Chains A and B, each alone.
Chain A
């Protein structure tokens, strides 16, 4: 009995010990380490990319391009900004960036007095270079070093030409734009008008709306009521496109209308793929980010001084529904 007892007891002990050891291993194996204090070389320049439209496909691409370029050049870039065009927050971020004395700011231009005040006075006071990207604000107003992005006037022209080739040289075109009348939007409208004014049979109607869904829908309805024989729509501000197309779709078939827009909104690409838009202007957001960072670093290093104040234009293409499909 004693032997069997000892044996069983021994087995139990061994089992207990095994579990104890396993447990001890878990406990004493070093847990997750505290993140180490960085001792690697500090980034050469701290740059900030500020936008009003965080986490949209367009701006994600810009950020991606900027980050790649910054990594390549041993600098770091942070993406700050606000969501859904929250201007107040956007401006605050801009001010923080200036007060934080970053080495350079790449910012989505905002054509408002506050923005100009910050860039012109405060940034200049701290000596921080500012580049506008994607949307420009004229040099005289913002004291920006340069602009990196599409030529919005050219984009307008391209869209107008596409419209003419699709619609023919006569018809009614509705331009829908944001009531804030930002500089880049004006440029686009100017571009469109520049082409269309040579075709007297093309009648243009300009509709303004606040960038909110209800207002856009209301504006669209209003236009459709006033101009029942409209042939084409151009959403000068890409953010309007979705609500506008939806409203048109509710009234009648979308297909007979020629509808155009730009790619700097999260909706336009999917609308194009769904065949609801006939064409959009595709810009090169990654190139914008990359080029922006490259230029600002070159300027900081003194390689390229001064920068071309007219801006560095990136490629734009007309993307048609037929191509996208």
Chain B
């Protein structure tokens, strides 16, 4: 003979009749897909947008690098002079958008750089140096100076060089990839030749920039080395200028540059376009996720509606026997709460695993960034689950009375 079991199972045995596992599975799957899409879009937006908006670390976006527009005839030495005259510089200085302006100073001797260390093959290349006044550099200036008594040359490289190495060279030559951190630890031997001297100094990469395609060294090093390795005392006219402006998007500035055929690395515009596209895509994806989620809610609402409809007779009898509406609604509510928690856990698990996979893929592209926290996404997931569950619970409550 059956003895004591709690009252709930008996009631549940009655109420669970007509529950369709298929409908519940369909709801779980649809809801999982919907929530997963929303969370993924949200998290990826959070992960990717700082990569695009991230300050360069070397140059603030207020700094523009100007050079003259080069044409084919310039290359043949027939066209206009690619250097800036003092008048041109002075004219720029007088413009209302200019806060400060300074020319780039180039090295006037031969430089050969040899790379050595940590499992890398010896790589040697000719190169050149340029400098701008230290006040234009947004980096830790304690590392950005040159002392002839301890000759180590701090160097800022274009980030594209590293990317070129990692994805072009290292990939095809089966060499290890180099992160930015690792790059700052590699020793560079820099051989300087000129004025009947040849000396080798230590070089050290201190940072990377995306704003400038040159190899940057401290101004005091350029002054010192140009004196030491050249006899020529004239400074040649600069080909590039660095300009600080309070508003890089100033139309006056754009007009002036157009008029004088000056070019600027159009970094900010590209970035803002990329951000806009990213935002648009994210919105679109979140909208799709929301629609899928709403459809899944609708599916659950229909399923519950049907279920309760099919069990109306029993629910009515149980109500007449004195079972409260709340106690009869509770098993259904528990069911949707459990389902929604299951969906929450699955969605987060999927998100976390897919994201770590994506981050792994993206890491070499943006080695300098730490991944953003998952917490806001988890909170968003909780919020969605809470809202969903609230809607479900209300609906069940309204159906059983």
Query: Do these two chains interact?
Result: no
Which residues of B are interface residues toward A (Cβ below 8 A)? none
Which residues of A are interface residues toward B (Cβ below 8 A)? none
